[in-house]
Amino acid sequence: MARNAYKYFEPQKIAKLANLNILARQAVEGFITGLHKSPHKGFSVEFSEHREYSPGDDLRHLDWVAWGRSDKYFIKQYEQETNLRAYILLDCSGSMAYRHSPQGISKFEYGCFMSACLAYLMCRQQDVVGMIAFDEDVRFHIAPGGTPAHLDRLFKKLEALEAGRKTAIASTFHQLASTIAKRGLVVIISDLYDDPAHIIRALQHFVYKKHQIIVLHLMDQAEMEFPFKKVLSFVDMETNERLQVDPRFVKDSYCKEVAAFIEHYRKECSDRKIEYCHVTTDMPYDGVLLNYLSRRKALLK
């Protein structure tokens, strides 16, 4: 069997998603023909509204029925279909490097697979996608594009990326919300290990700028179940702080705190019309995306 050209791009898995599109929930801004409605007026695809005739307007778009009723000239305006401008924001902070099983996959690696898959799907449907990798700073920022050469650059950047520095999710999101000019779809892949109140305010900043947000909240199953039996020293992967813990005395309270942590994000995102999907690394990423995009497609019809 031929070796895959890229570490995080698996064509055999992406083939399962071939019939799915990543649709916008509302009008988007763009510059090539695609699957999504634009807020800019044109003369194609679907009727939007009337405006009064002005000298020089194309007479082919006069509404003669409206003229017959009102004795005034009106021009038909239409909504153009356009491309979606998407941004994938991938968390590569130290906590994303966690994997419970040495044979398993880390959250960071899982996020890279998801990022490559989503980027390919959006380019295949003639949309443009950019990618931003971040920890306490922006590690790289690839502007949106949709060509094979663009995907090649994006995939190679992912392969060269490593997780391992501190987290500053909220401040990074505020910075990006202020600098991303055109509204579009923002897909966030992160374990969201930062102050939830600060992160929610930063997500609201994206909403205020009229971006559509999808949060893929990524965790290891062990982070939810706390399957440890013996007294252990836990090491913070970003600060190296150590804490000795007897799992017998903390497991129940820990699991309740984690469940509340997840539910808090779920509720706060729902209140702001932000799409939220909780994902664990033991779930095949192609299956996760297949189920999520299928449900999303049905809801947006």
Per-residue model confidence as pLDDT tens digits over 115-128: 999 999 888 888 88
What is the pLDDT, as a whole number, of residue 125? 84
CA 217 and chain centroid, separation = 10
Q: Residue 29: which pLDDT band, with cuts at 50, 70 and 90?
A: very low
CA 33 and chain centroid, separation = 21
pLDDT(137) > 70: yes
* Mean pLDDT of the 208-212 span: 93
Cβ distance 213 to 188 under 8 Å?
A: yes
Closest CA to 117 of 141, 156, 151: 151
Per-residue model confidence as pLDDT tens digits over 34-47: 445 555 444 444 44
Non-local CB neighbours of 53 within 8 Å, separated by 6+ positions? 62, 72, 73, 74, 75
165 is written with which tokens? 């520095």
* Mean pLDDT of the 164-184 span: 90
Average pLDDT, the chain: 84
Closest CA to 95 of 236, 218, 1, 231: 236
End-to-end, the C-alpha distance of the chain in Å comes to: 40
* Mean pLDDT of the 13-34 span: 59
What does the alpha-carbon distance between residue 146 and residue 122 come to, in Å, rounded to a whole number?
8
What does the alpha-carbon distance between residue 299 and residue 125 come to, in Å, rounded to a whole number?
19
What is the pLDDT, as a whole number, of residue 85? 87
* Mean pLDDT of the 23-43 span: 47
**Domain segments of the chain as ranges:** 11-23+84-300, 36-82
For residue 278, the cross-strand partners are: 217
Residue 25 or residue 258, greater confidence: 258
Interaxial angle between packed helices 247-271 and 196-208, expressed in degrees from 0 to 180 and rounded to the nearest 10: 20
What does the alpha-carbon distance between residue 16 and residue 203 come to, in Å, rounded to a whole number?
31
Residue 192 CA: distances (Å) to CA of 89, 141, 213, 222: 12, 20, 14, 16
Superfamily for domain range 11-23+84-300: von Willebrand factor, type A domain (3.40.50.410)
Per-residue model confidence as pLDDT tens digits over 59-80: 777 777 777 777 777 776 544 4
49-83 as b/e: b if 16+ CB within 10 A: eeeebeeeeeeeeebeeeeeeeeeebbeeebbbbb
What is the pLDDT, as a whole number, of residue 295? 81
Predicted TM-score (pTM) above 0.85: no
What does the alpha-carbon distance between residue 205 and residue 199 come to, in Å, rounded to a whole number?
10
pLDDT(233) > 70: yes
What is the pLDDT, as a whole number, of residue 53? 66
With a pLDDT cut of 90, the percent of the chain lying above it is: 56
What does the alpha-carbon distance between residue 40 and residue 57 come to, in Å, rounded to a whole number?
17
* Mean pLDDT of the 274-293 span: 92
For Cα atoms 183, 187, 193, give the angle at the middle one, nearest 5 degrees. 125
With a pLDDT cut of 70, the percent of the chain lying above it is: 81
